[in-house]
Each structure stands twice: as C-alpha cells, then as structure tokens.
Amino acid sequence: MHIKDLIGKVPGELIESIEGRGISELTPPQSMSVEYGLTSGNNFVVAAPTASGKTLIAEIAAINSIISNRKKAVYIAPMRALVREKYTEFRNAYPYLKIAMSVGDLDSLDRWLENYDMVFASTEKFDSLIRHGLGWLEDIGCIVIDEVHMLDDESRGPTLEVLISKLRRLCGNAQVIALSATIGNSREIAGWMNAKLIESDYRPVLLERGIEINGKAVYDTGREEQLDSKSKIPEIRITEDTLRRSKQVLAFYSTKRNAEAGSERLGDIVARYLSAEDKKRLELLSNEILGVLGKPTLQCERLSKAVLSGTAFHHSGLVNTQRELVEDAFKEGLLKAICSTTTLGYGINMPAHTVLIRDVVRYGEHSGREYIGINEVTQLCGRAGRPEYDKVGRAFMIARSESEAHDLYNRYILSDLDPITSKLGMLPVMRTHILAFVATKFLTSEESILDFMNSTFYGHQYADSKELKSIIGRVLAELSEWGFLEGRGSAYNATRMGHRISELYIDPLSAKWMVDSIPRMTDDISVLFMISNTLEMRPYAKATEEAEERYMQYNSMVDNSIARYDGGEYLYYDPVRPFSTALMLNDWIDEKGERDIISRYRTTPGALFVKITNADWLLYAGSEIAKIMRTDSIKLLEMRIRVKYGIRKELMDLIRLEQVGRVRARMMYERGIKRTSDIRKSESQEAMKVMFGKEIAGRIIAQITGPNDIKTGQMK
C-alpha cells in the first residue's frame, strides 16, 4: 500500500510529514492495520519484529485522533529513555503540534499538560497523574502502549496492567494501540484488550540467527559460513569478522563486570580498524566521559580508556550522561563495539549489524543459575540489522561444543516465544493498587474492586473469582488495620494518611514502616536506616563486614533503636543489608569521596546515583507522612538537603547558592566563608576569586550583593 492511498482517510498533514521523511510505501503490518480499520478507531495489538514499522501505526492513530477528531493522544512506555526518544521523534515530525513529555516528579499533577495535544509519559508517571486527579481523561482519543510485553515483568508489569485496565474504563471510546516485538500469546492479549491483532514476521532487514562454534556460523536460514578471523576467542572472532565488513557489533553479557571486561578484551582488535580522524574524535569523547563526575571514579577511568580503543561498556552502573554519550557515539558510527548488559536490549533504537549474545545463563539472587528466556533472547537478537545500512543483520550465540550448539539451537532458534502471564496477583502489588483505587474514589467497595480485577489481564487469564475475592479481602483488612482505609464491605474510604501515601506513590508497607519508625528517629543513622529499609530502596547495598559490626554496636548502644525493631513484619530478610545502605548514604553526607564510597560498598556510580535519587524521594515522602502525624519533619527535610548534595550539616546555608556544590562549599567553609552573609566581606570575595576564578566568583557573589555592586568596584 502506498502512502498516497491514505489520502481522504487521514489528515493531509500526516501524509505530508510521512512523505517528508522519505517514506512512500507502507510496510505489510502498516498496510494490514489500515485495512483492518486503523483510521476508524479500532483497537490494535501489533506483534511484529523490531524495525517493522510499529511506531508509524501508532503515529497514524495518534495524529488522526489529534487533527481529525480534535482529541488528545497519549504515548506510554515503560522506560524513560524510550519515552524521550519517541517524544523527540514526534516533536521533530510535527513541530506545529503541542507535544509534551512527563517522566519526573510522581507527586505532581502537572496541570500544564491539559494544554497539550499529545503527552508522552512513563507508565508510573501516567498512573501517578491519575492518582492525583487528572482532569482530561475524557479528552483522550488515542492511547499508545509501547513494549506491551512488559506485562510479563514482575516489577513493572502489574502497574502497566492496572493502568491499561483503568484507561479502558476511564477514557470511554479512546482507541488503544499496543505494540510489541515479543508476544508469545498475542491472540490472548488482543482478546483481553478487545483489539484486532496484527501479527507479522516482516522485517525490512533479513535477520539471520545463528550459533558460532570454532569459527563457523550456522544460521537458521540453513546457511553456514566461516568467520574471517583466526582468533581463539569467540567474541573476538565475531567482532573481527564484523569489522572487516566495516560494520558494528553490539555484544550482550549477563553481568556488569563481564561487560566491562568484554569491552577491554575487544579493544585491542577494534583499535586496529580506527582511522586517524576516529582516534581524534574518540580522544575528545574519552575526556568528556572522564569529566562527567567532579572526581572520576575507577569505573569512569575504565570507560574512558576503553573508548580510546573504539569500544565501550554500557550498563545501569553508568550515570545517565555517560550512557547517552556512549549511545550517541555508537549511533554515529564512532564506537565500533559496545559490550552491554540488557540495558540496550529494550526500548531505545540502538541497532547494529551484528549482535552477539555472549551469555545465555545468568545468576539470580534467589533463583541461582538459570537460562535467560527465549523472549529476552529474541528481543536482543532484534537489535541486529539497520535498515539504512544493512540488507542482512546477524545475531549469534556461542557454543563450546556440538552438544551445546544443538541445545542452543533447539532452545532459542527452533522454539516458539513464551506466553506472557500476568504478575498482578501478588499480595504486595495488590496492596499498592487497591489503596490507590479507594484513595482516588475510582473503586470504593470490595465488590467493585473484584469486578475491576476480573477485567484485568490477571482476571482474563485465571478467572478465579473466589481466589481474587480472598486476596482483595485480606488486603482491605490489612490497609484498614494500618490506618490507611476506614469502613468495610460496601463503603471504604481512604484516611488522610492513606490518601497521601497513594499520592506519594510509595508502597503501603514502606509507609507503614515509616509511620512506626518516625517517632523512633534519634540520629542520622536512624533516619537513613528508616528510608533504606523500604521496598523502594531495593536492591540494597552489599553487606560489608564493617556494616555487620556497626549494626550490632548500634543496636546495643542506641536506646529504642529503629534497627532493633522486629523486621519480619516489614519483609526484609537481612537487616544488615539495608543498614549497610544507610551507612553508604551516611558516608555520602559525611562528604566522603565518590571513589571511596564506590570501592567500599562495591557499587557503581550509576547505582550510587539511583540510591541518592530514591533516598531524596523517600525523605520527602517521610516528611509528608510526619506532617500528617503532626510530628516535627525538620530532621527529615534537613536530611533531604544533605543527601541531595552530599554534605555535612554546616554547609546547608552555602549549598543554596547556584554554582556551589559540595566541593566548592567545603572549600569556602575552610576559608572562613561559613554562611552566605560572609560573602559580603571583601576578603571573602578576594578568596573566592583565587579559588574559583573571577567569572564563577562573580556569579556567586552577585546572588548575595546584586550585579551592581560587582560593577562598582567589589570585583575589581
């Protein structure tokens, strides 16, 4: 089907935008969706490979809703990086439409969004908007759910499932478009969503999946080939063969450590294929990566060094800026190989000619050694082949023997995708969402909650009303016992505390722990242990020997210690691990260096940043809970500032200034500039010029004295 065939069915602006990007013909999945009523408002589940054109199907529905039907469109995706990528794509394609993105503060209604035509949001953010009383739900005409296979994810799936079920009720006749490359039971998903199914194996670039053994590749197409490399190391063989084709490699590993080691292992071979211009640009990139943090960590140095050879590693331990620099350099073709955990396997568009899945076995904290699932392998393989550059993409797994090759071939190439199953039936998950149902007055009785739960994918799959009724009854009783709900049977209401907890988007169990712990806070450690021993702070920092010793000492020395509280009620198994997390945060606010903290607690810069971000949110939540309890919240608010900036208490006044972080504030304090009022002194200003230079010192001083004082002589 040609784009011209859409004339009269969709707005002219949509056709103009599509053609402006060089697209003249629809792909088979796109043509099928139009034939099945895409422009007439029908719901769709689109199950098709990566790069088959799923986003354009969503685009046609969304833009048609906005321009033709004068309705809003929302685009919901599970990962922030994917939300940002799609937001940027649509903004560029339709600069005249009002398009917004919302992925941040979960305790905000973002009222400004009501003025926009299209809103891009993460799953949790949009669910949070509904909890805060979003007023424009009836104005939504199209809802796009990207990566709908995330229903199968234990951490994100339940919220996605509840959100879809809510929106189908609250948004009336809105069209729903669900997209995925890996759904083993797509017909079942479509049945649940009352949607037409578009199922296709179309791919613009042929994907050959194969097993590499002793330098030979055996593909699912029946083709075999000898790789152009004499190396004895499989991943080097595959990389060298790819580089000789002037292509790029994306290699997936099971752990951060393996990914880092892999990038160094590949560096020697990749460096031989770099041009002089490549080396110059990589040196600039290396320096930029090294300077992202105020003081580089060992991991920063390791990544910076790897980049000089044209390789990089990518995982959740990197800070966001470093991840983005690596991604952009790979997209530009500057980096030739990236060794990644599965962080690059989902969401954002990061294709390569060759994909290598080096590890198909991983170790789970509770499950032990296990093979990764076929759906995940299929998702990773889908990154192979770039429509702009390749006619064929290759995806490899490595076998060390014929028997292993046979097993991998049967397990991952010949097998069908696994079905997606609901993860909503777990008690902690139900607790969170049932509180939100009642708090928002969406559902206020046991019967209405049961009816709703029967409409979810969980209810669709299992249809066991008796079991559901039992779980719902237990949760309502528990939330009532904790003081978050009141009433029974046909009339439940959220208490003031329950309503606020739902808005704060924290688990009710974490909130219960805080309510019990806030009166027992005695010192910095007790505050940090309170927020660390929550579900939101998992996974906890590794328990160090020092943490174990200090936990025992703290428990015995501090009267009425939080740490002495019976933790069994709050579902942690080893109190030393959250205590170790509290010690890590305490080192941070004691102004210990990032490098030392990362080494002591065997963590990464990215993981430390996530812990600091989560701690900031939990301290804010704790202060809000304390207000409702009519308890002094100052200690929590002060700790929030200290955790945010990583400072001791005496720097809290100085840190308010722009251009002043933990390092500059400490330098100022040591030179006698202990409060912002001290900046008015001429000797303080002279000292700051010496420490920071005239320009930065001038900016800091102007915040206290005003710009005129600088001009009239104070900064001569």
Provide the pLDDT for residue 366: 61
Provide the pLDDT for residue 713: 38
Q: How confident is the model at residue 542 (pLDDT cuts 50, 70, 90)?
A: confident
Least confident of 233-242, 407-416, 465-474, 553-562: 553-562
Which residues does residue 487 pair with via DSSP β-bridges, in sequence order?
492
Q: What average pLDDT does range 139-148 have in this prediction?
A: 97
| pLDDT exceeds 80 at position 708 | no
- The model's pLDDT over 65-114, given as tens digits with 9 standing for 90+, comes to 999 999 999 999 998 889 999 999 999 999 999 999 998 777 777 889 99
The region, left, alpha or beta by phi > 0 then psi within -120 to 50, assigned to residue 82 is alpha
Measured distance CA(8)–CA(23) in Å, rounded? 18
- The model's pLDDT over 280-339, given as tens digits with 9 standing for 90+, comes to 999 999 999 999 987 888 899 999 999 999 999 999 889 889 999 999 999 999 999 999
Q: What is the CATH number of the domain that holds 462?
A: 1.10.10.10
- The model's pLDDT over 582-606, given as tens digits with 9 standing for 90+, comes to 999 999 999 999 889 999 999 988 8
Instruction: Please state, in angstroms and as integers, the Cα–Cα distance from residue 650 to each residue in 244, 594, 618, 703, following that order.
Output: 59, 20, 23, 20
Q: What is the CATH number of the domain that holds 185?
A: 3.40.50.300
Instruction: From 503, 520, 542, give the residue that closes a domain.
Output: 503
Measured distance CA(58)–CA(147) in Å, rounded? 12
451 and 540 both lie in a single domain: no
Q: How confident is the model at residue 712 (pLDDT cuts 50, 70, 90)?
A: very low
Give the strands of the sheet with 99-102, arranged side by side.
99-102, 118-122, 72-77, 140-145, 175-180, 44-47, 196-199
- The model's pLDDT over 175-224, given as tens digits with 9 standing for 90+, comes to 999 999 889 999 999 999 999 999 999 999 999 999 999 999 999 988 99
212 and 349 both lie in a single domain: yes
182 and 91 both lie in a single domain: yes
Provide the pLDDT for residue 325: 95
Q: How confident is the model at residue 467 (pLDDT cuts 50, 70, 90)?
A: confident
With contact defined as beta carbons under 8 Å apart, do 157 and 163 qualify? no
Assess if residue 406 is contained within a domain: yes
Provide the pLDDT for residue 716: 31
Q: How confident is the model at residue 384 (pLDDT cuts 50, 70, 90)?
A: very high
| pLDDT exceeds 90 at position 398 | yes
Q: What is the CATH number of the domain that holds 541?
A: 1.10.3380.20
Provide the pLDDT for residue 272: 95
Assess if residue 572 is contained within a domain: yes
Assess if residue 237 is contained within a domain: yes
Q: Strands, E, within 33-108: which ranges?
A: 44-47, 72-77, 99-102
Which residues does residue 370 pair with via DSSP β-bridges, in sequence order?
362
Q: For the chain, how many structural domains are there in total?
A: 5
469 and 613 both lie in a single domain: no
680: Cβ–Cβ under 8 A, 6 or more apart, which residues?
Answer: 704, 705
Average pLDDT in the chain: 91
Instruction: From 176, 199, 222, give the residue that closes a domain.
Output: 199
Assess if residue 422 is contained within a domain: no
229 and 335 both lie in a single domain: yes
564 and 581 both lie in a single domain: yes
Assess if residue 550 is contained within a domain: yes
| pLDDT exceeds 50 at position 715 | no
350 and 298 both lie in a single domain: yes
The residue type found at 390 is: D
Among 155, 150, 159, CA closest to 183:
150
Assess if residue 654 is contained within a domain: no
Of the chain, the percentage scoring pLDDT greater than 90 comes to 78
- The model's pLDDT over 235-264, given as tens digits with 9 standing for 90+, comes to 999 999 999 999 999 999 999 999 999 999
Please give the full DSSP string across 272-328, using - where no structure is assigned: TT--HHHHHHHHHHHHHHHTSSSS--HHHHHHHHHHHTTEEEE-TTS-HHHHHHHHH
Instruction: From 390, 413, 436, give the residue that closes a domain.
Output: 413
| pLDDT exceeds 70 at position 570 | no
Least confident of 307-311, 557-561, 642-646: 557-561
Provide the pLDDT for residue 411: 94
Provide the pLDDT for residue 295: 81
Provide the pLDDT for residue 316: 87
Pairing, β 249-252 against β 224-226:
unpaired
pTM of structure = 0.89
Query: Residue 580: phi, psi to the nearest 5?
Result: -65, -40
- The model's pLDDT over 156-187, given as tens digits with 9 standing for 90+, comes to 899 999 999 999 999 988 999 999 988 999 99
Measured distance CA(429)–CA(441) in Å, rounded? 19
With contact defined as beta carbons under 8 Å apart, do 619 and 629 qualify? no
Assess if residue 421 is contained within a domain: no
472 and 387 both lie in a single domain: no
Q: How confident is the model at residue 563 (pLDDT cuts 50, 70, 90)?
A: low
Provide the pLDDT for residue 677: 94
Instruction: Please state, in angstroms and as integers, the Cα–Cα distance from residue 95 to each residue in 90, 99, 118, 558, following that order.
Output: 8, 8, 12, 60
Provide the pLDDT for residue 367: 65
The residue type found at 676 is: T
621 and 708 both lie in a single domain: no
244 and 150 both lie in a single domain: no
Please give the full DSSP string across 410-424, using - where no structure is assigned: IIIISSPPPPP---T
Provide the pLDDT for residue 489: 64
133 and 37 both lie in a single domain: yes
445: Cβ–Cβ under 8 A, 6 or more apart, which residues?
Answer: 489, 490, 491, 492
Measured distance CA(282)–CA(288) in Å, rounded? 10
599 and 483 both lie in a single domain: no
Q: What average pLDDT does range 116-144 have in this prediction?
A: 95
Query: Residue 340: phi, psi to the nearest 5?
Result: -130, 155
| pLDDT exceeds 70 at position 562 | no
Q: How confident is the model at residue 428 (pLDDT cuts 50, 70, 90)?
A: confident
Provide the pLDDT for residue 573: 57
Provide the pLDDT for residue 547: 86
Provide the pLDDT for residue 548: 85
Reduced to 3 states (helix: H, G, I; strand: E, B; else coil), residue 8 is coil
Provide the pLDDT for residue 450: 94
Q: Which domain holds residue 263?
A: 206-413
Assess if residue 419 is contained within a domain: no
